[in-house]
Structure 1
Amino acid sequence: MGRRTSLGVLVVLLAIAGWAVSLWLPEEAPATRSAPPPVVTADPSAGPVDVSKVRGELAALATVARRPEGLAAYERSVFGGGWADSDGNGCNQRDDVLRRDAVEVRTDQQGRCDHDVLAGTWVDPYTGRRLVFTDLKDPRQAQAIQIDHIVPLAEAWRSGASGWSPDRRRAFANDLANLLAVDGPTNMSKSDDDPAGWRPRKGFQCAYAARWVETKTRWSLAVDDSERRALGEMLGYC
């Protein structure tokens, strides 16, 4: 047998041996990969906007004067005092919204509430800024992240809530779909303005306008002419 033939036979024998050994070896575990970072969204509770539906709802809203004559002055107390636990889960609306809107969150049990929020990371939908808090039991940190009524209570009062019962006003004040966790100073600058007087960053105006219109539709609240125009402009960014 020539040298070349001998080498060929040897290669074949080694291949067969390798194949036989592989039958008895366990499959190699796939390489472990680190999980991708969480996707940070401006508003964790917002879904896709059906623009035509929202525009139809906006057109159907009743019209009210921007400053209705003879309307009693707004007082926060007419919407109830403090946050309620409207869904009966043991936690008030502030803790529910902070947990819902968080990118990362640390919670603890407090009484009946199993998600008392202690710390975490949020993205302010109004500015896009990342908010990180290490101790929300510190009053200064707690004040720096606030729960905003997208449609403010004073605005609701001017556009129909002045004629509601106390129970209906209390329910509106605790409506989770009308609440967002936001940057405290930005929330203070918004105050009780409507979209004709205050707007978030451009990237959030579509979602903001949609949530505003949907809230006013669900609660049968009216809009004034300048508010209606501003909402239409904001929906143009969808």
Structure 2
Amino acid sequence: MLTACAAAPMPGNSAAANESSVPPVSSPGPASLADSVPVGRPAPNVSAMAAAALAELGRLPVKGSAPMTGYRRSAFGRAWSDDVSVDKGRNGCRTRDDVLQRDLTDIEMRGRCTVLSGWLDDPYTAQRLRFERGVDVKRIQIDHVVALADAWRTGAQQHSPQRRVEFANDLRNLQATAGWANQQKGSSNAASWLPPNRSFRCTYVARQIQVKRAYDLWVVPPERDAMRRVLTKCVG
């Protein structure tokens, strides 16, 4: 049976509060980055979020890029695995459908997991896109906010196989977006690619920092400098 529903806000994952429902932070002083970065939506208080992200950026290790030796997609497990302990893990739905349920609106479902159709207000491009399952599958894709290849060259190759699976299926690191934007980004970090929608760039960079902190990844010097430039413009 087909049912229509609106996507509910994503509940907080095991390591962070629900970013989309946390009230705006009045001052940047003690703000936690985990509590200030919205998932899939514009920031409620961009200045406070950017200030918290800048503080977190200062705590990230800065190193050179590790070689890509041994990298392959399968190093991060089977795509959209539900066998993870992060938010929505082991709920019986593939991660891709969990992301679609979170990021789309006016959703039509088949059963509890399968998203048949809906609308995406794409934060990367500021486009409103129609999703229909099985129709033009390249139109809407799921982006890893910190790309898998970038994670590999900044520390993930040292992680256990299961931790890499968790990383690849952590909703904090996943965003539905226009397929062309996802393809354009590829494995780029913030030094070589930012969302075309400039109003989302601070949120995007803050999410990258949040994910890198959560998974003990580092930033390379040009990436750190690019992140700092983006966030500095948003403070105040």
Q: Same fold (TM over 0.5)?
A: yes
SS at match of 1:120: strand
The answer to whether the Cα contact below 8 Å between 1:45 and 1:101 also exists between their aligned partners in 2 is no
- Distance in 1, matches of 2:145 and 2:207, equals 7
1:88 alignment partner AA? R
| Aligned-pair Cα RMSD in Å | 1.9
Which sections of structure 1, spanning at least 5 residues, go unmatched?
1-40
Whether 2:133 is the aligned partner of 1:136: answer yes
Equivalent of 1:106 in 102, 105, 108: 108
1:205 alignment partner AA? R
Whether 2:191 is the aligned partner of 1:196: answer yes
Instruction: Count how many residue pairs are aligned between Structure 1 and Structure 2.
Output: 189
SS at match of 1:78: helix
**Structure 1 partner of 2:180:** 185
- State the identity as a percent: 40
Instruction: Report deviation, 1:47.
Output: 5.2
TM-score normalised according to structure 2 size? 0.75
SS at match of 2:116: strand
Quickly say closer, same or farther: Cα 1:54–1:94, change in 2 above 3 A.
Answer: same
1:121 alignment partner AA? W
**Structure 1 partner of 2:142:** 147
Most deviating of 154-163 and 52-61? 52-61
The answer to whether the Cα contact below 8 Å between 1:42 and 1:125 also exists between their aligned partners in 2 is no
**Structure 1 partner of 2:60:** 61
Instruction: Report deviation, 1:74.
Output: 1.8
SS at match of 1:83: coil
1:146-181 Cα deviation digits (max 9, x unpaired) = 111000000000000011111111111101111001
Which sections of structure 2, spanning at least 5 residues, go unmatched?
1-37
**Structure 2 partner of 1:76:** 73
The answer to whether the Cα contact below 8 Å between 1:178 and 1:215 also exists between their aligned partners in 2 is yes
Structure of larger gyration radius: 1
**Structure 2 partner of 1:116:** 114
- Distance in 2, matches of 1:84 and 1:199, equals 27
Instruction: Report deviation, 1:219.
Output: 0.7
1:93 alignment partner AA? T
The answer to whether the Cα contact below 8 Å between 2:141 and 2:179 also exists between their aligned partners in 1 is yes
Equivalence map 1:208-219=2 (5 Å): 208-219=204-215
Instruction: Report deviation, 1:233.
Output: 1.1
Instruction: Report deviation, 1:65.
Output: 0.8
- Distance in 2, matches of 1:169 and 1:207, equals 24
SS at match of 1:64: coil
- Distance in 2, matches of 1:195 and 1:147, equals 18
Whether 2:218 is the aligned partner of 1:222: answer yes
- Distance in 1, matches of 2:44 and 2:163, equals 26
TM-score normalised according to structure 1 size? 0.74
Quickly say closer, same or farther: Cα 1:47–1:160, change in 2 above 3 A.
Answer: farther
**Structure 1 partner of 2:92:** 90
Most deviating of 220-229 and 80-89? 80-89
